[in-house]
Amino acid sequence: MEMNSANVEAVVKQVLESMLSQPVSASAAAPAAGGAIPKTAHVAMLTALEHYDVKEFPMPEVGDGDILVKVEGCGVCGTDAHEFKRDPFGLIPVALGHEGTGEIVKMGKDVKVDSAGKPLKVGDKVVTCMIFKDNPDITMFDLNKQNVGGADVYGLLPDDDIHLNGWFSDYILIRKGSTVFNVSDLDLKSRILIEPCAVLIHAVERAKTTGILRFNSRVVVQGCGPIGLICIAILRTMGIENIVAVDGNQQRLDFAKRMGADNSVNFMNHKGIEALSGAVKEAFGGYEADFAFQCTGSPVAHANIYKFIRNGGGLCELGFFINGGDATINPHFDLCSKEITLVGSWVYTLRDYATTFDFLKRAKAIGLPMDDLITHEFPLEQINEAHVTNLKQEGLKIAIVNK
């Protein structure tokens, strides 16, 4: 999708102005185009630690600025896993699931376009992003703000009278003023992968700011979970071919090669950082890396990665979405004397979302096995099993898919 920022700004402002000037009236919603909307919806509500109940609620009224979406699927994210295990945000009872997508079945008369100005109609496929109820201009158009931390997101909202607040459900009500994108031109699996892919689009954009990541760079990707594998896919769509993947899981390293890594290094086969960095150098034909992406949540892995990078090289650290503890590095050897340029990356911007849609189309077009990242699909009723499977790290991306 082409996103012209000047146009987008104008359109969004226009939409917001019209929202603010017209009171919400529940009765004015346009009827669904096809298929009856059931009287009740089902929501997987985390009601206790490690326990979801699938609850039934009356289908809510659709206000003039609202969109009712029939949910097709939703990925299980690391954040859902944290909530399931420990509820660190104190949200229970909560309808989780933010990597979701579905089809518009009903929308209010005031809804005309998505957050990028693309027309919306019943039958279109959509995803949400962060919500900016209080000040939608923040982050999308404030170029000084680099990411969207602190904003609300469907799937992490507290429960309320409407209840349809998360994508682990069969229907979700997207409220007036929410960020929503029309992604009808992407297939279901691609749509489920949008949110994690946006994390890597942002990381690569951050990496590009160093000026070191180039067409023919040698790049190390450390950690081959979904995050590292998507990182490799993005580098491949950019034409970067000299990629070495590092992990301790051979199955994941094999997938990294299918995704486009040239070579791989299994750290289990190399004792000590000297041997490991030697193996990475060998995998590049005797060179150190120009650039490295750190995609594990391991402080040891953070400390190790400097040893793989050449003098004057670059590093993007994106592996710590949450606090994973301190890492020990030697500031003289690892940073100063090598003149490493280091960037951190966290979450994404709305602009990265639009780039992600293009990336997903390109990745498919050049034959990358993106679909295979979704290794397990569960129906909504088996959401507890889906989370247990996710915690066991038996697959890569686990998704709830409504049949």
Ligand X SMILES: NC(=O)c1ccc[n+]([C@@H]2O[C@H](COP(=O)([O-])OP(=O)(O)OC[C@H]3O[C@@H](n4cnc5c(N)ncnc54)[C@H](O)[C@@H]3O)[C@@H](O)[C@H]2O)c1
Q: Which positions touch Zn ion (CB under 5 A)? A: 77, 99, 195
Nearer to ligand X (CB atom), residue 94 or residue 295: 295
CB of 195 to ligand X, least distance (A): 9
Binding mask 324-353 toward ligand X (x if CB under 6 A, else -) reads ---------------------xxx------
Contact 74, 100 (CB under 8 A): yes
List C-alpha distances in Å: 146 to 15, 143, 273. 24, 7, 34
Choose from ligand X, Zn ion, none: what does 246 bind? Cβ within 5-8 Å by kind: ligand X
Position 266 contacts ligand X (CB under 6 A): no
Q: Least distance to ligand X from the beta carbon of 267, Å?
A: 5
Cβ proximity of 299 and 325 under 8 Å: yes
Q: Please, which of residues 294-323 interact with ligand X by CB under 6 A? A: 295-298, 300-301, 318-322
Instruction: Show the binding pattern over residues 278-297: x = contacts ligand X (CB under 6 A), - = does not.
Output: -----------------xxx
Nearer to Zn ion, 75 or 260 (CB): 75
Q: Which is nearer to ligand X, 60 or 324 (CB)?
A: 324
Least distance in angstroms from the C-beta of 153 to Zn ion = 9
Check binding of 267 to ligand X (CB under 6 A): yes
Residue 204 in contact with ligand X, rule: CB under 6 A: no
Nearest to ligand X of 232, 347 (CB atom): 347
CB of 399 to Zn ion, least distance (A): 12
Q: Which is nearer to Zn ion, 68 or 76 (CB)?
A: 76
Tell me how far, at minimum, the Cβ of 268 lies from ligand X, in Å: 9
CB of 212 to ligand X, least distance (A): 19
Rounded Cα–Cα distance for residues 288 and 354 (Å):
34
Q: Which of residues 10-49 bind ligand X (CB under 6 A)?
A: none
The residue of the chain with the least Cβ separation from ligand X equals 225
Q: Please report whether residue 382 would count as binding ligand X according to CB under 6 A.
A: no
User: Is residue 224 within the footprint of ligand X (CB under 6 A)?
Assistant: yes
Q: What is the smallest separation between the CB atom of 146 and Zn ion, expressed in angstroms?
A: 18
Q: Which residues bind ligand X (CB under 6 A)?
A: 78, 199, 222-228, 246-249, 252, 267, 295-298, 300-301, 318-322, 345-347
